[in-house]
Amino acid sequence: MSEQVKISLDVMGGDNGPAVVLEGADIALIRRPDIRYVLFGDKDTIEPMLENFPRVKQASTFEHCDVMIQMDERPSQALRRGRGKSSMWNAIEATKTGASDVCVSAGNTGALMAMSKFCLRTMANIERPAIAAIWPTLRGESVVLDVGATIGADAQQLLDFALMGGAMARSLFGIERPTVGLLNIGEEDVKGLDEVKEAGRMLREFHLPHLDYKGFVEGDDLGTGAVDVVVTEGFVGNIALKTAEGTAKQLAEYLRSAMTRTWMARIGYLFARSAFVKLREKMDPNKVNGGVFLGLNGIVIKSHGGTDGEGFAAAIGLGYDMVKNGLTAKIEQDLTVYQKSRFAADEESAE
């Protein structure tokens, strides 16, 4: 496929401003020269900066936007103020008009989700969107969702998350039938939240061709990579994600402090330097930067607000891969198969 991938960028989003976004765009373009950007931002700020990134300028169209969404703005206010006019809104809308295949923003998460829902709407038969994170594990990577799109989820919504997360794992990891687990506080069938138990029953019953349901998983199964897709509602998912990030930072700090405490340790550090560099890369949260909004009529990727150029490039790369591997088509396919299977089950029980 020689087709270019069109990516719309909210150049104004993020804690560190447009420079990081443009730097990330440049890095991503070197790795994937068939990217074409549609940039949205403030003309007076962006146009002079673009001169420092000739590659990006060459591969982009630019559109001026009057409004820029603040990082601490309430979603409702952002929507009121930025609808139709902001760089964020326009970057999202581009995926709807076909001007782009995927939107990437490092802006305010709540505002990005509110605008994405309002502009793109949820897919047919999907009630709620989810944010999926890529979780580094001892086996490689897993998809974990929802990490904070909405609070609470009933059994049907958890099942929808499983289907969408499964489609994402198929797109991303190239597995035919990803393994799926429901996050719970015990592995036995009798334990945990009612909606989680009910979702487990449904997943077992429907025999979905593209999902290999493995039952309940616990918090410590996230890091080992016990399954390819971990499903939970947004409150728990968000706290699990941030707890893991916090623990990683804490241990990195322990390690740093242990390696500088004595002269012997410092000498040891010098010898093992390249090992530590590899370790730091492995623990770098930027490497897997990007939350994917699933369940909307368009793909939106949320980058960490505080990321650097490398991190933003990773988020762009993730969006690129999702498009190349036909994420949306895969989700639609899985949803259709499931709807048929559910319809058949309903027919049967009605007889």
The residues that touch a copy of itself, with contacts defined as CB under 8 A, are 74, 137-138, 148, 151, 183, 185, 190, 192-193, 218-224, 232, 234-236, 238-251, 253-255, 258-259, 261-262, 264-265, 267-276, 278-279, 282-283
Q: Give the nearest distance from C-beta 261 to a copy of itself in angstroms.
A: 6
Which residues does residue 7 pair with via DSSP β-bridges, in sequence order? 37, 102
Closer residue to a copy of itself, CB minimum distance, 33 or 186: 186
Q: Cis omega before residue 346 (within 30°)? A: no
Three-state DSSP class for 79? helix
Closer residue to a copy of itself, CB minimum distance, 99 or 288: 288
Closer residue to a copy of itself, CB minimum distance, 129 or 319: 129
What whole-number distance in Å separates Cα of residue 319 and Cα of residue 110? Answer: 19
What whole-number distance in Å separates Cα of residue 18 and Cα of residue 14? Answer: 8
Q: Give the nearest distance from C-beta 82 to a copy of itself in angstroms.
A: 18
Residue 196 CA, chain-centre distance (Å), reads 22
Show the DSSP H helices in the chain as ranges.
Answer: 17-31, 43-50, 54-58, 75-82, 87-97, 109-120, 155-173, 194-206, 221-224, 234-260, 263-271, 273-283, 309-324, 327-350
Closer residue to a copy of itself, CB minimum distance, 178 or 234: 234
Closer residue to a copy of itself, CB minimum distance, 166 or 237: 237
Closer residue to a copy of itself, CB minimum distance, 38 or 147: 147
Q: Residues 6 or more apart from 198 whose CB is under 8 A from it?
A: 155
Sequence length of the chain is 351
**Closest alpha carbon to 4 in 343, 338, 324:** 324
How far is residue 240 from each of residues 233, 236, 237, measured CA to CA in Å? 11, 6, 5
Closer residue to a copy of itself, CB minimum distance, 190 or 350: 190
Q: Give the nearest distance from C-beta 59 to a copy of itself in angstroms.
A: 36
Cβ(155)–Cβ(202) below 8 Å: yes
Q: Give the nearest distance from C-beta 269 to a copy of itself in angstroms.
A: 6
Q: Give the nearest distance from C-beta 28 to a copy of itself in angstroms.
A: 26
Q: Give the nearest distance from C-beta 273 to a copy of itself in angstroms.
A: 7
Three-state DSSP class for 298? coil
Closer residue to a copy of itself, CB minimum distance, 58 or 77: 77
**Closest alpha carbon to 311 in 24, 10, 5, 8:** 24
Q: Give the nearest distance from C-beta 301 to a copy of itself in angstroms.
A: 20
Q: Residues 6 or more apart from 340 whose CB is under 8 A from it?
A: none
Q: Give the nearest distance from C-beta 307 to a copy of itself in angstroms.
A: 15
Closer residue to a copy of itself, CB minimum distance, 124 or 272: 272
Q: Give the nearest distance from C-beta 235 to a copy of itself in angstroms.
A: 6
Tell me the Ramachandran region of residue 174: left when phi exceeds 0, alpha when psi lies from -120 to 50, beta otherwise. Answer: left
Q: Give the nearest distance from C-beta 205 to a copy of itself in angstroms.
A: 24
Q: Within a 10 A sphere around the Cβ of 243, how many other Cβ atoms?
A: 12
Closer residue to a copy of itself, CB minimum distance, 127 or 189: 189
